Amino acid sequence: MLQTNLEHLMNKEELKTAIDSNEMVAVCCGRMGPMCIPVYEVFDIFQEKYPNIKFMDMEFDSPESAVIRSLPECSTFRGLPFTVYYRNGKVVKATSSIQNAKQIKEIIEEVFS
């Protein structure tokens, strides 16, 4: 399990429940590595700043994370983490690799405003 302050997704059923129950969901699928930890930290801060968005994580190496890894939007990704933004049950944006708070805020404003 990832050591973050985010709600952890353990399987595709939990992901489906999250995106069915929340209009806006952001999922960071990664490891506890140097490219992923900064994204988890921004998500943790943004949980309070954007209470209408559900920020969650999923462990990249779990077989269950195939639900994220196999998305068409992630098919060309080579760097971790895979970060996927859902609105009304649909993928509206997916990114890979390290991102800072400014970059994530820009994405949130683009897809969730």
| 113 residues of the chain, pLDDT tens digit each | 899 999 999 999 999 999 999 999 999 999 999 999 999 999 999 999 999 999 999 999 999 999 999 999 999 999 999 999 999 999 999 999 999 999 999 999 999 99
List 85's β-bridge partners, or say none: 26, 93
Overall CATH class of domain 7-112: alpha beta
Compute the CA torsion angle 61, 94, 53, 66 (nearest 10 deg): -30
Sheet strands (E) in 4-50 = 7-9, 24-30
First-residue to last-residue Cα distance in the chain? 32
42 Cβ contact partners less than 8 Å away, ≥ 6 residues apart: 99, 100, 101, 104
Phi, psi of 94 (to 5 degrees): -145, 140
Confirm if 92 and 56 have CB atoms less than 8 A apart.
no
Confirm if 26 and 55 have CB atoms less than 8 A apart.
yes
What single letter denotes the amino acid at residue 109?
A: E
Pairing state between β 82-87 and 24-30: antiparallel
